[in-house]
Structure 1
Amino acid sequence: MRNTLAFTRRYLATIPLSIAFAVLILVTSLVAGTFFGPPSEVTENTWAAGVTTVVDMGHWWTVFTALFIPWDPFQLVAGILAALVLLGVAERLLGRLRMVAVFLVTGLVGVGIGVLLQWVGSLAGEWWADGTSYDLTVDPLTPIVGALLAASSLMGPLWRRRVRLVAFGLLIMFALYVGDTSTVYRLIAAIAGVVIGHVISGRARRVTWLKSSFGEARVLIAAIVVIVAVGPLTSWLDPDGSGAFGLAGSFYGDIFPTASDIQELCASATSAVCDDVQRLAQLGGIGPIVQTFVPLALLLVAAWGLRRGRRFALWLGIVVNIGQIVLAFVFLSLVASFASTDPTDTTGLAAIDIGEYIVWGGSTVAVPAAVAILLFVHRKRFALKSPREAVIRFSVTVAAAFAVLALVYSVAGAFVVGAYIPQGTTIVELVLDLPRRFLPVTIIGVTQDALVPPPGFVLVLFQWIGPVFWAVFTLASLQLLNADDQTVRVGDHQRIRALLRRGGGGTLGWMTTWPGNVYWFNAAGDAAVAYRVINGVAITMSDPVCRPGDERQTVRDFAAFCDANSWVPVFYSVHEQFLPVFDEMEWQYMSVGEETLLHPQTLEMTGKAWQNVRSSLNRGVREGMTTLWTTYDELPRPYIAQINAISEAWVSEKELPEMGFTLGALEEIKDPDVKLMLALDASGRIAAVTSWLPMYRDGRAVGYTLDFMRRADESMGGTMEYLIASSALHMKEEGVEVLSLSGAPLAQAPVPKGEEPPAPTVMTGLSEFLAKTLEPAYGFSSLFKFKAKFNPSYSTIYMAYPDPLALPTIGGALGKAYLPTMSAKEAVSLVRTLVR
């Protein structure tokens, strides 16, 4: 909490003008009376902008004052948040003076040109301008949007593209589907912001289209699908809007006529129209209303899968959009049957302007058609197929759900078939009518006579089997899209071990052989990366295994491999020599721990700094302790039993879940290449055990890394110090070059005397917070202090990642990697320990 507050204070200190604007709109809302609700008529006529005030009344100043007054409490809150975040970003990028200039210019251009277009359009009889020419608006979001889009020109290519696509997508969506004057003014201000930003950015005047990686293109296309899917929902939430595409909102929610609507229609319409409306009214209920939102849910699922590059999501998005086109034609045919385009025809509803009919029809057909075409054109970017087992499971689940629901409804309906409406419904007709139970009611009500059961249990089934089926389909689709093929192929373990023995992978490289990892090999087969995919994040373990000089190409090739699979690549526990590669790639990286290193060939345990270690060595000798350098396969059965007992006793004493990933357990010590150093007491029983992972060069072990550490409860104090020091002395005799005491998670190396500590950052603050939070549970700091007894040198280990926005997902994936099997009981124990 302290670090969060410190970061917030530092951020707010850099945006004084944005804070001032937030305070200003708070004050103006109190003065203008919009703090508690919409403005009064006097306030609108005096301060709000629009054709009425600017042109008719001559209140030219309203073009300016409209930028500083929120419309209502909701817009006040939105304006304050936007000022502190969006305008704050613009202030940091543009600088204070340029931000003020851009803020005013884009705001005045947005409102001024918007009013001008409304006035000219209303004179020409254009339907939107004519319908909104009497609207008045005050909106501080207009200049904020303009300033943000201008500042986007000073962002890097990735953020510039994202900000512009999301901003314009949302602005265009609201302008088309809601269509009030504020949405149009904001869109104009955004366009002005982009133009101004391009001028002040100092880049070449030639506008170029930036190329996108597969992963980035998928993100952008998925964002477009989400925006288009949510668009009709916004018009449904605002039924009084003036958007050209507003009719699309009619597909959602309660579309069924009320009793008064039926009475009014039947009094003036033809008998056929009256029968259609009465049939449609009989289909009402909560279940059918829920079912109208199925296309929206499926498109959101498709967007989530598109972000991950899934072929199933591609076809799901295409099919749903085509289905919406069919739905639009059916729905519009219903509208056409209620209304005539002939103004003199009074037999039906009021005449509809042919231009409006074309616009409405185009919006409900052209938009989903454009999305379907976009997906089809970019289909090669979505080539990832789900594993065969996942496809079979999905197919069986969906088919079984359909069959069970259909069977239950058919059997139940057969008992009351005589009471169905219309009279004379047969069981055969009931069965043939089944598919329509799973379609939107808009189609059901106009294709033919609806078979409606009497009130009771069957009516509940009638209304809910469709929503239940689509809920099962949606959940099964999410499971299918989340399935990854993480199969270790035959021979991969032998290949990675051969590369490790050749050399590469660093001091932590042998961890790549542990269960749970899968392997990527380059085309030549002489470089590899061990990784595991969790929630769409490909987390590597240790440095890439490659020859010296191939680091750059190996990292880039693996990143491209992850991009093709729509995974977020995260290089975890890599060392400093790889940082220049990530700098070239414009990736972010942060420290995730410190590795403690000894160099046995120059090791001399002399001096005061080694006093505690020497004391443990001498005490062990006095008490008759000895050591044994061996492997698990060479151990006699009694020793294996003792190691198992020591390990189980250690685990059983902890209510907390045992961590994995880069922390080995009992299974990992059974590797024949892993060395064990045992401490034996005077009676020959095992007092402590350590395991040492090898590091090879040209087939020879030149280094070892400490992994597994356990000691018996009854062993002497200082046994572990005795055992590690004995291991170091043994390695010195063996000619070992490097001894690593492994990494200490979330640790920071001590600052040498006379040097200033580096300035704190958000990431270092986060690491410090996590270290303090987890210390009561796992004792990372205590472990780091224990290793410091051996006077090691320190080597920082890093995590590198391409996208800061993915950090929450990366954090969740790392948590699952370290605690993959944490039970609910263990989770409660962990929380209890941290609270204590």
Structure 2
Amino acid sequence: MVGTFFAPPSEITRDTWAAGVTTVIDMGHWWTVITALGIPWDPFQLVWGVLASLVLLGVAERMLGRVRLVAVFLVTGLLGVGLGVLVQWIGSLAGEWWADGTSYDLTMDPLTPIVGALVASTAVMGPLWRRRIRLVVFGLLIMFALYVGDTSTVYRLIAGVSGLVLGHLLSGRSRRITWLKSSFGEVRVLVATIVVIVAIGPLVSLLDPNGSGAFGLAGSFYGDIFPTAADIEELCSTATSTVCDDVTRLAQLGGVGPVVQTFVPLALLLLAAWGLRRGRRFALWLGIATNLAQIVLAFVFLGLVASFIPEDTDTSALGAIDIGEYIVWAGSTVAVPAAVAVLLFVQRRRFALKAPREAVIRFAVTVAAGFAVLALVYSIAGAFVIGSYLPQGTTVVELVLDLPRRFLPVTIIGVTGDALVPPAGVALVLFQWIGPAFWIVFTVAAFQLLQADEQSVSVGDHQRIRALLRRGGGGTLGWMTTWPGNVYWFNQAGDAAVAYRVINGVAITMSDPVCLPGTERDVVRDFAAFCDAHSWIPVFYSVHDQFLPVFDEMEWQHMSVGEETLMHPQTLEMTGKAWQNVRSSLNRGVREGMTTLWTTYDELSRPYVAQINAISEAWVSEKELPEMGFTLGALEEIKDPDVALMLALDSEGRIAAVTSWLPMYRDGIAVGYTLDFMRRADESMGGTMEFLIASAALHMKELGVEVLSLSGAPLAQAPLPKGAEAPAPTVMTELSEFLAKTLEPAYGFSSLFKFKAKFNPTYSTIHMAYPDPLALPTIGGAIGKAYLPSMSAKEAVSLVRTLVR
């Protein structure tokens, strides 16, 4: 083991501990099938073996338990190595080219049993993780086996298959294998993963040029494919003049820029995979077109390779193995991209999202302009030195007609006629780089096109959502759905709606869905299906307890994101010691001549509007930090004619404080109000806000209001009843507590929660529900951007400074 850390194993070590046909079959060292599972070959394998043991075996142990993990680890490892050696031995006896070529290879690879154990553990996972892990693991295993093809990669693949079978037997499920249906979003994830794996496969073979993989030739399309002067001299000394001319022409196209251009198909496939994950139609056709282009490239390139064989060569001398190998290589470079193109075409209905018309026009103009500018600059530069071009006698017309080839893969250019090569200088730099420059422009423009979403409110949507809210539904936070920035989904019947906004592919809802009691399940599921069809991650934010059974039924995750504080005006009695502070503020306000005014923004006089604007601007200007939005209203939101205002006026009739109250309707009657906007003048008396909220509660009692909500307190936790034990902490609760403590110096969420506790409220937890735990980082970023959509660099620095004090 120590020797393998500092240097590759010696010959004696390999013969004693490594597994392969020569050690197991020829030497009879049967124990190497076992020892090869625990000894790494080199430092690289040692590091990866330790990391894989900690991460992958940790996952497998959690799913299988320690005892079953050890058994599965040994069985899959022994099957992987043992069956692999047996297959190689039989294949080499039969003259099969891969087995014969690798029969002398030896391996020591702890990753083999680790892979087998991980695959076996997926049998007891849920459908989502089982499908994802199997696809990624087997995709990588098959990719390495086909594109690299050394002994270890094949042994790992056999161990993975063994783990699949063993896991199925251990799971206790029905022996009948069933095909699990996938949502649109999951199909997109799986298809995108396949495209990524197929795209990077040739790159893997390029990094290991000595591999024995059947698909290894595909790596020849990338990198420095240009022959050197020595290669040309050696080839031209024996080959025909036609072959020599082809190679010489190809060498003239060399340079850093053309080498970069060989990786364009890889970049386009990765871009297509990213767009496929988002369900975009443009990504579908980009993926199909790129794979078809690779097929054309393969035919041309293989034709070029074939042309290197001299005409007088006796092909019968190549032997059946070499011909079979060439057929496999040639077929792989065509069959794989063809299969991916067919897969994309068959699944095209899953990728129906089109970009807005404006985004398509912007993309087309950008690409066309980029092509035109680059072509014009090169043509002008080339025209000045046209007399120095090779071959001699090149004309400007020929230069212009040659332009399209500057943007094509160089393997095609090299066999489509004489290459027009400029002399050293500006023209040569442009000759080598206008192709890569164009594809960079194309890639950036395509990325922007794939990001473009149609996010607009249809005519009449605002009226429809208000009508539904007046009927009932949406909860105490429902009126926030009318705020700017939200777009609306309505169910087919038109009697339910969800307000949401899409940020970075996450559809964040605001408040409970606006629906009648008893329809929650259908509304949540229909909206989730709508998001799935648009390749968005649905996140129900600020929803109440009555929706949790629906999310549990859907096997979603949910967590608390705050506590809503509620008062009940019809039973409100401000008596007892608990109300002493509030009563003191009320009495002091009365003594100082303060009065209140229940009104709306439209009913305010101009002086009052000016005072409210001044108070709000003074409050904002005092803070270095950005004003938050999303579920926290600002000055614009109080202008809604349905939103009530409660003003505190001092003895001189000036506004000392202002609050806004969002209505909650039932059958057209306001039965509840939710506190939103709160601002207090600097010179107002201490306790003014307590005076104002208490006065509002008493006024609502007179109006017959049933529920008064002081709104939610983000990241807050309701106090536990006396004698109650705190629930066991989880990763999410610990994260929430950390965020609450971190953000407290900046935004005072805890202080706000304690202020509201003065009014002796009851508590109602508000939750966030989401389908995929892996998406939590993306969800967190989207919610942060929703709350702080316009944070400037200066405000970001201020926020960080505040947090680290």
Query: Shorter-chain TM-score: what band?
Result: over 0.9
Task: Give 1:350 shift.
Answer: 12
User: Of 611, 614, 623, which aligns to 2:583?
Assistant: 614
Q: Any idea what SS the aligned residue of 1:593 has? A: strand
Measured against aligned partners, the alpha-carbon deviations of 1:144-197 in whole angstroms (never above 9, x if no partner) come to 110111110000111111111111001000000011111100100010001011
Look up the match of 1:7.
Answer: none
Alignment of 1:205-224 (within 5 A): 205-224=175-194
Contact 2:21–2:104 (8 Å) recurs in 1 = yes
Look up the match of 1:773.
Answer: 742
Look up the match of 2:398.
Answer: 429
Task: Give 1:37 shift.
Answer: 3.1
Alignment of 1:374-523 (within 5 A): 374-523=343-492
Further displaced range: 264-273 or 169-178: 264-273
Task: Give 1:414 shift.
Answer: 0.7
Task: Give 1:787 shift.
Answer: 0.9
Look up the match of 2:164.
Answer: 194
Q: Distance in 2 between matches of 1:240 and 1:158?
A: 37
Q: Any idea what SS the aligned residue of 1:35 has? A: helix
Give the partner amino acid of 2:147.
Answer: Y
Is 1:689 aligned to residue 658 of structure 2? yes
Look up the match of 2:107.
Answer: 137
Contact 1:595–1:795 (8 Å) recurs in 2 = yes
Q: Distance in 2 between matches of 1:178 and 1:211?
A: 33
**1:342/1:114 CA distance change after superposition, 3 Å:** farther
Look up the match of 2:96.
Answer: 126
Q: Distance in 1 between matches of 2:223 and 2:588?
A: 80
Give the partner amino acid of 1:531.
Answer: Y
Further displaced range: 333-342 or 308-317: 333-342
User: Of 258, 261, 275, which aligns to 1:291?
Assistant: 261
Is 1:243 aligned to residue 213 of structure 2? yes
Task: Give 1:341 shift.
Answer: 9.5
Structure 1: runs of 5+ lacking an equivalent: 1-28
Q: Distance in 2 between matches of 1:398 and 1:190?
A: 45
Measured against aligned partners, the alpha-carbon deviations of 1:297-324 in whole angstroms (never above 9, x if no partner) come to 1001101111111110000000000000
Q: Distance in 2 between matches of 1:38 and 1:812?
A: 45
Task: Give 1:349 shift.
Answer: 11
Q: Distance in 1 between matches of 2:318 and 2:151?
A: 29
Give the partner amino acid of 2:177.
Answer: V
Q: Distance in 2 between matches of 1:710 and 1:643?
A: 8
Contact 1:299–1:320 (8 Å) recurs in 2 = yes
User: Of 208, 228, 232, which aligns to 1:262?
Assistant: 232
Further displaced range: 352-361 or 495-504: 352-361
Is 1:281 aligned to residue 227 of structure 2? no
Look up the match of 1:167.
Answer: 137
Q: Distance in 2 between matches of 1:101 and 1:161?
A: 23
Q: Distance in 1 between matches of 2:92 and 2:320?
A: 21
User: Of 85, 101, 107, which aligns to 2:71?
Assistant: 101
Task: Give 1:351 shift.
Answer: 11
Measured against aligned partners, the alpha-carbon deviations of 1:673-720 in whole angstroms (never above 9, x if no partner) come to 000011111111111110000000000000001100110111111111
Task: Give 1:344 shift.
Answer: 2.8
Give the partner amino acid of 1:764.
Answer: T
Contact 1:343–1:351 (8 Å) recurs in 2 = no
Q: Distance in 2 between matches of 1:339 and 1:175?
A: 29
Look up the match of 1:82.
Answer: 52
Q: Distance in 2 between matches of 1:830 and 1:352?
A: 68
User: Of 306, 314, 338, which aligns to 1:344?
Assistant: 314
**1:193/1:313 CA distance change after superposition, 3 Å:** same
Give the partner amino acid of 1:82.
Answer: A
**1:306/1:62 CA distance change after superposition, 3 Å:** same
Q: Any idea what SS the aligned residue of 2:679 has? A: strand
Measured against aligned partners, the alpha-carbon deviations of 1:420-456 in whole angstroms (never above 9, x if no partner) come to 1111111111111111111111111111111111111
Contact 1:175–1:187 (8 Å) recurs in 2 = yes
Contact 2:715–2:739 (8 Å) recurs in 1 = yes
CA RMSD across the alignment: 1.4
Q: Distance in 1 between matches of 2:781 and 2:758?
A: 33
Measured against aligned partners, the alpha-carbon deviations of 1:489-524 in whole angstroms (never above 9, x if no partner) come to 000000000000000000000000000000000011
Look up the match of 2:5.
Answer: 35
Q: Any idea what SS the aligned residue of 1:446 has? A: coil
Contact 1:269–1:349 (8 Å) recurs in 2 = no
Look up the match of 1:629.
Answer: 598
Look up the match of 2:555.
Answer: 586
Task: Give 1:257 shift.
Answer: 1.1
User: Of 473, 490, 499, which aligns to 1:530?
Assistant: 499
Q: Any idea what SS the aligned residue of 1:59 has? A: coil
Task: Give 1:776 shift.
Answer: 1.2
Give the partner amino acid of 2:773.
Answer: P
Q: Distance in 2 between matches of 1:352 and 1:445?
A: 30
Contact 1:600–1:732 (8 Å) recurs in 2 = yes
Q: TM-score, normalised by structure 2?
A: 0.99
Task: Give 1:342 shift.
Answer: 8.1
Task: Give 1:339 shift.
Answer: 2.2
Q: Distance in 2 between matches of 1:425 and 1:533?
A: 55
Q: Distance in 2 between matches of 1:73 and 1:686?
A: 74
Q: Distance in 1 between matches of 2:339 and 2:476?
A: 53
Contact 2:97–2:321 (8 Å) recurs in 1 = no
Q: Distance in 2 between matches of 1:233 and 1:352?
A: 26
Task: Give 1:36 shift.
Answer: 2.1
Alignment of 1:683-722 (within 5 A): 683-722=652-691
Q: Distance in 1 between matches of 2:663 and 2:313?
A: 88
Q: Distance in 1 between matches of 2:270 and 2:791?
A: 30
User: Of 626, 634, 647, which aligns to 2:616?
Assistant: 647
Q: Any idea what SS the aligned residue of 1:710 has? A: strand
Q: Distance in 1 between matches of 2:536 and 2:618?
A: 40
Q: Count matched residues.
A: 805
Identity percentage of aligned residues: 85
**1:316/1:190 CA distance change after superposition, 3 Å:** same
Task: Give 1:343 shift.
Answer: 6.0
Look up the match of 1:754.
Answer: 723
Task: Give 1:340 shift.
Answer: 5.8
Look up the match of 2:43.
Answer: 73
Look up the match of 1:180.
Answer: 150
User: Of 296, 299, 306, which aligns to 1:329?
Assistant: 299
Q: Any idea what SS the aligned residue of 1:597 has? A: strand
Measured against aligned partners, the alpha-carbon deviations of 1:725-754 in whole angstroms (never above 9, x if no partner) come to 111111111111111111111111111110
Q: Any idea what SS the aligned residue of 1:455 has? A: coil
Is 1:789 aligned to residue 758 of structure 2? yes
Contact 1:175–1:184 (8 Å) recurs in 2 = yes
Q: Any idea what SS the aligned residue of 1:654 has? A: coil
Q: Distance in 2 between matches of 1:341 and 1:583?
A: 71
Q: Any idea what SS the aligned residue of 2:132 has? A: helix
Measured against aligned partners, the alpha-carbon deviations of 1:192-245 in whole angstroms (never above 9, x if no partner) come to 001011111111110111111111111100100000001001001111111000
Contact 1:341–1:354 (8 Å) recurs in 2 = no
Q: Distance in 2 between matches of 1:392 and 1:274?
A: 46
Q: Any idea what SS the aligned residue of 2:424 has? A: coil
**1:428/1:352 CA distance change after superposition, 3 Å:** farther
Q: Any idea what SS the aligned residue of 2:723 has? A: coil
Q: Distance in 2 between matches of 1:188 and 1:265?
A: 42
Q: Distance in 1 between matches of 2:510 and 2:789?
A: 16
Look up the match of 1:272.
Answer: 242
Q: Distance in 1 between matches of 2:339 and 2:444?
A: 27
Is 1:602 aligned to residue 585 of structure 2? no
Contact 1:510–1:694 (8 Å) recurs in 2 = yes
Measured against aligned partners, the alpha-carbon deviations of 1:407-429 in whole angstroms (never above 9, x if no partner) come to 11111111111111111111111
Give the partner amino acid of 1:446.
Answer: V
Q: Distance in 2 between matches of 1:710 and 1:41?
A: 80
Q: Distance in 2 between matches of 1:73 and 1:449?
A: 49
Contact 1:229–1:296 (8 Å) recurs in 2 = yes
Measured against aligned partners, the alpha-carbon deviations of 1:60-84 in whole angstroms (never above 9, x if no partner) come to 1010011111122221121111111
Give the partner amino acid of 1:754.
Answer: G
